[in-house]
Amino acid sequence: MIKGSCLCGAVSIEIEEPLEHAPEACHCSQCRKQTGNFLVAVNVRRTAMRVFGEKNVKWYQSSEKVQRGFCSVCGSTLFWNPTIEGYQWTSVALGCLDTRMELKIAKHTFVGDKGTYYEITDGAPQNQAF
C-alpha cells in the first residue's frame, strides 16, 4: 500500500499497488500557480485510492473539465481531478506521498508555458502542450 498525506496530516491517502502509470510533470501556468513551481503527479485509478479526512479536501474548479484538490487546513496540493463523466483517474501529487518509491518522470507537458527560472534536463520527453 502506498501512503500519503498533506503537510498537517488532516488528509491522508492510501493507494493500492502497483501504480499503473508513471509520473508526469505539468509546467502549465495553472499548475505552476497552484504549486509554486510545476506539478509532478501520477494518475491513479479512483477505485484504487482511499482518502481519509475527505471533509478537509477542498476543490477548486480550475477549468470546465478539471478540479484541483487541496487540504483546507494547510493548503497542500493533493489532486488534479478531471470531471469528465466516466473518467476513471485522479492525478495524485507526488509531493504528498510518504511511501518512498524509485519513480522517474516519464514526460513533461506544457513545456511551452514553463517558467523561465529553470531548465528541464532529465532527458524525459517534452511536449509543448498536452
- Report residues of the chain scoring pLDDT below 50: none
Res 130: pLDDT: 77
Res 114: pLDDT: 95
CA atoms within 13 A on the CB side of 79: 29
Query: 14 near 49, Cβ under 8 Å?
Result: yes
| pLDDT tens digits, one per residue of 41-59 | 999 999 999 999 999 999 9
At 12, the amino acid letter reads: S
Res 81: pLDDT: 96
H helices present in the chain, as ranges:
29-35
Report all structural domains of the chain as residue ranges with CATH numbers, in order of start.
2-113 (2.170.150.70)
